[in-house]
Structure 1
């Protein structure tokens, strides 16, 4: 067993942070010494490694807790997912560095090239926030195709998708015509999903209600109850 000081030295995580992880139930020691000191086994060391992987991907602590203590949590799948997402992050950082180097070198860039790095950044953010769930629901191939489709968007298409989403928010805020809302959401979704189907569309929006992050996103943009109204519009 390791003391909290030994685990801090091994992992590079401060003892203060380890105590906080214990307080919130994210990383609880297996035992305590007679003097009341926290003691950690190999199990806690392995859990801490996963926590650090998810933190490197900017996943919130509460979400990490839900993931790693889920009965369906699979270590091998998690490790593969960590690797895939970190590779995406590495590629995104490399593209941003390349963009900056090009600009610092005084080379004129096309508008398409200017936006490529930032589209990569958007994919990275989505991976960090939703990657685990969407892979579980739709599979690695579907996610890869969606990312590829998004990266292939022209600057014009990228801005068009943003414009459609803003129109969607406005219509949701007004609790407007549900058919129009459903069509707008479909139009927006088709920019990112290469293979559209009505069943897939309904499945995606229904999933919004099971995830507080989506509810917060739409309700913040278009008012409380907007997510529910969107789901009703698509599934009517």
Structure 2
């Protein structure tokens, strides 16, 4: 049975038009996730891009991955990601055991993340795994113009906060059988902690794109 990576990439972004093909450090945004998946060929048997956009399809094919044409009814603004994953599984003949979801809008990931996470996924015999990061902010709600702290008491030091975590979107691993039930994160999913500045990158605006470009340049300068 195979492990496949799926990169969903719609063409109809509203806040940042054509964001999945905008250049990030000289190559289209979606290509960063394609190249990341291609580096882990010992884990990933096949890579699929699910898209409704001809330009995205053209770019994906240039980089040697398979493309599944996503129908219009699964490409709306409010359509959940899992519907695209399920459509891929229903469109291919491969006998798939695990689906690795890589979101194009999270282009930066620690180099060995997939290898380490997949090892944990297998050792723990989990049916799904997703990456999380520690929140270090003091959070609260505003109700009737009054601030109500959520995870701290007024005056409490940040270092004394109760540990809270957020889903960072860097990586998801799920049994194909769950995807077919329209589930990505199961009740027994393992939350794999990632402490990396990349966890704060999720491109949805021009400012997000510029910040990511800045991080890439700093990373390359540091490693050169």
TM-score by length of 2: 0.31
- Larger fraction in helix: 1
- Larger fraction in strand: 2
Q: 1 or 2 for the larger relative contact order (CA 8 Å, sep ≥6)?
A: 2
Rg larger for = 1
